[in-house]
Structures are given as C-alpha cells and as structure tokens.
C-alpha cells in the first residue's frame, strides 16, 4: 500500500491550513496513496500553546471536521489530521488526531495521552489529556494503523500497546518542538519504535520554525524508507506487510517477550 505524509507549516489561519491540507491531499491521491497523514495541530498551530487553542476548539462534527471529511471524500483518500477538539472543560481542549475514510466517514479519533509538559512548555495548561489510555487503531485497505501524537513517541509502552492491538503502521503525527539534538532524537525515536515492534512508523511533523520538519517513514528494521527535508511538502512511500512479516520471522520478539 502507498501512503503519504503531508508536512505542513500550519498557523493560526484555519481556513488557510485547510486549503493546504486539501492541496496536499490532492497531490497524495494523484500519486496513488490510499492514505495521507498530516501533523499534530494541522488545523491550528502557533509557537506556544496558549488560551487561543481552547478558544479555537470545535467538536469533531464542527466546521473543521466537516471540511476534513469533504477533503477525504473529494480526493477518495483516507486522511488523518491533528485538530483542536472541544472538551468538557471550556478552558482546555483535546489535542486530537481525526481519521477519515475515503468516503468521508470518521474512522477513529485519538486524543493525546502524554501532554508536552517539558522543555519550558506546559501543554496541559490549555489541553486536557485523553480520558482513556486504550490504543486507538483503524483499518484501511487491509492494513491496521495505530495513532500516537508527538511526545507519545518517548513512551515505548504506548507503541507496544498499539502493536499488540494489531497495528502494522504507526502514524506519529507531531509538531516536534525544536531544540538541542531534537532532530536527532526525532529520527532516533521513530526508528526505535519501528525496530522494537517490527513495524512501520510514519512520523509527520510541522515544518520550521514551529517544528523540525524531517517527516519520514521508518521501516520495520529501523531503516529510513523515505524522508522530507525542512520545507512543506508531500512524501509518498510504500509499506509492505510481507516485509514486516519477514522481519518478525527473523526477530520473533512478539512471541519471546516475558515482561507484561
């Protein structure tokens, strides 16, 4: 199956962000992708999370969700994008990944579990953590995709739970905050989660200056299958269940694990 990663430079103009998503989804579909993933906070982003995020929040069936659904259906491609979702607390939103099928139907919604209270940031001041820590997956074209967001990459047990739930591709939709060695950590953690679980990990990030760019697809041996640089753009690459099965035949860690 061919998948695509749409590396954006989202800002506070939600309408402009949606137009960029539409254009990139069209490019992904034209390249033969069955699914295109966009970064965390694809619909609304700025360098520091503040009170404007819950102010911009909408329910998943609001205008932003409806437009993402239309984009997926228009291009006949499954689509995953980070949105700011309303929560029961008006002062805090959910940081949500919404997945839509090629028919526009909602396939899954993942609310970020591990909030970025690190590196001088306090995401939890304006964002509520997911009420559930259950793994969130969905199926497209016979493959199972697992969802995680940015800081979640630093918690290997979450990727393992998604793998145990049958995921063959993890979509790590991110706005990876820049800093010392952060690009190196981004690439290393994507590869590590792939190697640990013998699956594909697709890391799609916002472009600089908000984030580090370098969206990439890591294969089940940790190899970089394809990678973007710093500019916004669309990456397409193929994922192979047969390759994943071959790696698991050589390294049967799923059967050998003793710690539960």
CATH number at residue 199: 3.60.110.10
Q: Which of 45, 112, 123, 173 is catalytic?
A: 112
In the residue annotation, 47 being an active-site residue is answered as no
Q: What phi and psi, each to the nearest 5 degrees, are found at residue 200?
A: -90, 145
Q: Which of 45, 85, 150, 173 is catalytic?
A: 150
List the domain range (segments joined by +) for residue 40: 2-256
Question: How many domains, the chain?
Answer: 1
- Cα distance between residue 242 and residue 1, in whole Å: 11
In the residue annotation, 123 being an active-site residue is answered as no
Name residues whose C-beta falls within 8 Å of residue 42's C-beta, 6 or more positions apart in sequence. Answer: 8, 10, 17, 21, 81, 82, 83, 173
Q: Which of 40, 45, 85, 123 is catalytic?
A: 40
In the residue annotation, 157 being an active-site residue is answered as no
Local confidence pLDDT in tens for the 260 residues of the chain: 999 999 999 999 999 999 999 999 999 999 999 999 999 999 999 999 999 999 999 999 999 999 999 999 999 999 999 999 999 999 999 999 999 999 999 999 999 999 999 999 999 999 999 999 999 999 999 999 999 999 999 999 999 999 999 999 999 999 999 999 999 999 999 999 999 999 999 999 999 999 999 999 999 999 999 999 999 999 999 999 999 999 999 988 888 888 76
């Amino acid at each position: 199956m061919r998948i695509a990663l749409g590396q954006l430079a989202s800002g506070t103009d939600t309408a402009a962000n949606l137009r960029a998503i539409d254009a990139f989804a069209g490019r992904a579909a034209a390249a033969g992708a069955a699914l295109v993933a966009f970064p965390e906070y694809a619909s609304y982003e700025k360098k520091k999370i503040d009170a404007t995020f819950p102010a911009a929040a909408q329910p998943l069936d609001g205008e932003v969700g409806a437009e993402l659904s239309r984009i997926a259906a228009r291009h006949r491609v499954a689509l995953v994008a980070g949105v700011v979702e309303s929560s029961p607390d008006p002062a805090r939103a959910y940081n949500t990944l919404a997945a839509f099928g090629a028919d526009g139907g909602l396939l899954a919604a993942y609310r970020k579990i591990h909030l970025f209270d690190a590196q001088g940031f306090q995401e939890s001041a304006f964002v509520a953590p997911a009420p559930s820590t259950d793994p969130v997956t969905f199926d497209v074209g016979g493959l199972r995709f697992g969802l995680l967001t940015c800081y979640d990459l630093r918690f290997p047990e979450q990727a393992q739970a998604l793998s145990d739930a049958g995921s063959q591709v993890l979509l790590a939709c991110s706005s990876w905050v820049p800093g010392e060695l952060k690009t190196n950590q981004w690439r290393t953690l994507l590869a590590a989660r792939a190697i640990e679980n013998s699956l594909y990990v697709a890391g799609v990030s916002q472009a600089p200056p908000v984030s580090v760019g370098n969206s990439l697809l890591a294969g089940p041996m940790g190899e970089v299958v394809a990678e973007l640089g710093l500019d916004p753009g669309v990456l397409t690459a193929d994922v192979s269940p047969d390759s994943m099965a071959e790696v698991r035949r050589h390294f049967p860690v799923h059967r050998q694990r003793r710690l539960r």
